[in-house]
Amino acid sequence: MTKIKIAVAGCLGRMGQELSKKIIANNKLEFVGGFEHKKHKNINKEFNKVSEIQSSNLIHSNPTPSIKLANVLIDFTTPQSTLENIKIASLNKTAVVIGTTGISGAQKNKIKIFSKKIPILMSSNMSLGVNLLFNLVKQTSSALKETDYDIEIAETHHKHKKDAPSGTALSLGDYAALGRKTSLNKSKILDRTKKLSLRKKGDIGFSVTRGGEIAGEHTVSFIGENDRIDLVHKANNRSIFVKGALDAAIFLSKKKSGFYTMNDLLFNK
């Protein structure tokens, strides 16, 4: 059986290290290398000398060598780095799994243009459970009218996370808005401290907590006059995101050019 060759962007980051270790442990996959920011202290050192990743490959600052060798690149970095890596991947016909959060609408449109050349799967959250939650939120939002139920989204993450609300929370908001045939841009309320006003019909509110080492918790609440429905997902650790990303890489290795999401993996195998 031919192994699927995987490269990892941001290979010494929190997700990058977990991904690299799991790739090496998976008999369907081959870890062909990874790369880091050019200013990282461990550039040009062997993985097994500076991390728990059992590979004698060198850690590169140049993405091209690893991407050239790979069938699939997995990228959990920053929006700008992701765009630069996709450009290189498109030149080398390498598929890309994107778990980077904080990607703007304009950046997403650029990614979709690249997907005409290579297969790209992008998700704000790689957990299969969270992606099922997306669909449950859409169904529930559609069933419960805005005149009867208010929507609030709460998320909690570790203290190292920079973007807020999380990409997952915003995606949950997108699905909630979609269920009510509107857009999140029209209905989201990110900050209630700037002006004093009553909650408006159709508002989708967000609250954010950062602390400790919490992998990720998301709650979508539908609050009525006489009852409340909570749809909740709690990640105990990062392994669910790693598993989802590797499942996505295997899925994408069999696909032609195009833009894919975790929904395609879940429901259109």
Active site residues per annotation: 157, 161
Question: To the nearest 5 percent, what fractions of the chain are helix, strand and coil?
Answer: 35, 25, 40
CB environment 90-112: b (16+ within 10 A), e (fewer): beeebbbbbbbbbbeeeeeebbe
Residue among 98, 96, 102, 171 at smallest CA distance from 133: 171
CB 220 within 8 A of CB 176: yes
Helical segments of the chain, H only: 14-25, 47-50, 64-69, 79-91, 105-114, 128-143, 167-179, 184-187, 239-252, 262-267
Residue with structure tokens 């500076």?
50
Q: Which of 239, 244, 251, 173 is nearest to 205 (CA)?
A: 173
Tokens of 95: 């598929």
Task: Give the residue carrying structure tokens 């790689």.
Answer: 126
Q: Is 159 exposed, middle or buried (0-12, 13-18, 19+ CB in 10 A)?
A: exposed
